[in-house]
Structure 1
């Protein structure tokens, strides 16, 4: 890069000095300087491009002459691919792609449009080979403009939108002027389709892009071109005021920029506005200014501008009743249309000349124009048929190409995805291994904790069993001492059954509610016998409880029942009542035991006995629920007068449900 700047600094004074000479002398000076053997070919190519863009525009033939010099050098170096380094080969490929794009633009301005399409396709191919996708999409936009010129809109639009899609997804490498080029081309498609409002929308986007740049000749020129096209759209909408305003703005911006073709277009449009307003003198004056201009190079665009100018003059004189001059200018317009072989222009000119010939009573010429219109009509039908077939074929080719690109992209994505899946798989295996190791450790800890809790629970039960057995043996002894041998035997039988139940359940972590209720009833019957039937009891289980599916820790309720019998009914002579309930409350299994004794205050005053079984049971409940604040709810039962008529104990039982 530094070498390029060095040579550019060396060559530029020579270019500036040569400005005082004619164009040929200036180019000769450039070509002489480029013969310096110390210059690298990439420097030569860049210098040619800088010189061309500095001193010439696309309206000047020398612009295309220098482009050919650049293209010949690029092609020569491209052909030496076997000896070129990869980076150099890429640069020569890029330059060649740019040259073919310019060549396509050159044929755009000539009647040979098929060559223009051919060179745009070559430009696209070379830029793709160099992986220069930005410039490849520029060439696609240029191709779309030419397709629009040929009214092949279905082929033009996908090219523009594909380029816009690329620009949107690569904003880091795309400038505002690039978007402007795409918007301008898309607007041109809509303009030629007669969708004027849509065209204006995209021309406004084009102007907005150019407004982001500092004001200079390049920006002014392109803003002038854009405003000219907007004026054309407004004229098509019959908004003549806006058409006039934008045409005049375009004229001011392109003044002195050597684009006579665009000036002719603007002047003709301004003249047509005057003509629509019946301002004949102003219109004639403007049309004469337009036809007096001479483009530096004869192109199809210049010919089209002159066509519109002569056709407009013909219409002007026809409305002024000067039929001779009307026929003269319309004949010139028809001659131009025949030269450039544009069907719709031939149609417009032949129709106008037909009307003028009839008014002049030149029936022979009128018949010739009528026959020409008939011929053009048949030709247009044939051409439409051909175009329809061509468009179908091109659409098929385009979709086929798109499919291939999509499949190639999918293959590439699949390869990347496979690598990603493989790496993800390895990472997932590592994570799963770490997770299972962590979970295994946690499970071992949980199992150890559970086993510890189960051992503790069993230990608590074993602490409680001797206490219960001790109490029962004492009760049997009391019966024997009181010589109630039959009761003692009956008590002993029932006690043996209960003892077997307790021993069996002591080895279980959970027993069914059905088994718990059976054990409670057996225990109550023994206690009833011991207390000489001083009390009755009731064990109620709620209907919505499935007693064979609900499992709870064994021996949780017995100490509270024992406490209700022993302490709650200690001062009751007869008609004692123990009421036991198992029920669900908000999905929680609850136990409740009530008695009709003296209540808790009376019990406390009467006895200082401390129930070991109840303390053990509370500790078990805390262990099962993991709740240190677990509470056993106690309260006195009162009658309407506020007298204590009994006591109630309730708590939540931890349980599991098995279906």
Structure 2
């Protein structure tokens, strides 16, 4: 792994410290009613900076939550300053991570993610995702690390924050380095370096020079690597970064080992170890132990080598870094082999092999699959070449036969193609008719089970002499049925009518389930609900699924949100709930899976037909909220429709009606 991960995190936690939108807003002198909270915010900023300064000078000897940071958290919580709380928890997560407390680190990063989401600050979110990605890198979960870093890069590009973009690109380079894609990692580091140089960001320059050196060292370019390491060290001295200096010392030591200069390497490796022990970064301490043990082994001081390698293994097991365990155990096997202690040498060799296998097992699977595909391709290519050679040898004898054969094949293909096209057109016409019939059936019939339950609920209210609820339920039920029957013969209805139908439906379901859930129904003001037309009952199946499969299995109060909003020339319909989520629902209710799939299939076909009719873009996305936020719960359904106005919808309907009349006349005349 690249040794500059720790230094990168200082950059990430400092990106929003002084120049973000919040700092500018709070320092504006002309705002009224903000004096007290503005003063508190400045106090919190100063406390965070003091905590950083003190912790950076001796992190291993200090509590993670020092008095400065504890006071900052208290003031920020009192003022409900979600941005500063997000920063504080992100910083705490980083400190836990650097002491290899990855579970605690994730807890604090999750708090930071919640507050950053509440603040709606994309820069904050990007920083949190970057920090979470670093935790995943530390535990060797590179796919999840890459996913987090890509999220951070996407958010940074949205806000056009060049510093954050540079950090995200650097992090993606780190993941490529971990996956042994050194040439690719160099390209990412060069891009990040160029951005740091353009903005005169010395911290970024220090980071990227060191990372470039590590990648070049892996490619065997030791002299070039040393140039980048010493350049990075110079920048770290300029910004007085002890973390950066320790990482550079380790890197320089590793380069001198590659050059065969072990005594020179020890000089730098021991400097790195002392700094890392003071800073409390256990990952870097484990790396220093391994490198020093390897160097002592090279110069023949086996007792010293054994001591440091045992320390490396013990600490690596404690923090769970497989790579360092594999490295240290391999070196111990070599040491005992040199001593002639073959039993111990074999034991540590087996230990090294086991950890190495666990690290590269997944990589080997992909590699084998790739090699197999290449082998199959080469074998097919060789077979084709062989057949071509045979064909060339017989060419003089088969020219006329081949000509006739090609002519016949062309005729057969042409005739077959024509027949297939005719059949295909017929199938498409029949499918078009079937989908329209299915649409009308779906629109004209409410769920019979729902209607039965609704009438049963009305009966219960009547028997209980609850006149108010039974009257309210019956009135809403009658309105819903009238609206459904009215819209069943139309391809489009107004957005206002669609919203009324959904409102009646939601209220009836709410009454039916004894008001066990709440709902909101919002139509964006930019959508003229009287003029904008939508396919009727398009959203109702997903609301039904949200209630039946999402909210109903949950004991706590549910919430369903239905939103209609405009996005440029498109309308986006969102149905969200806080139920068990679509993934859990599929596992828990396999019996209803077929019904739900049919509703989704018909909806997709309706959207496909709408796309062909209107020429606009349509889409249907259903996903579990855990795909967006691993700590959230529920389902999100997003339907994208073109904005169709009343006049255009009428023209399309009239055009289809005229075509229908013409077809009827032709049939009669025939």
Q: TM-score, normalised by structure 2?
A: 0.47
> Whose RCO is larger (CA < 8 A, sep 6+)?
2
Based on CA coordinates, which of the two structures has the bigger radius of gyration?
1
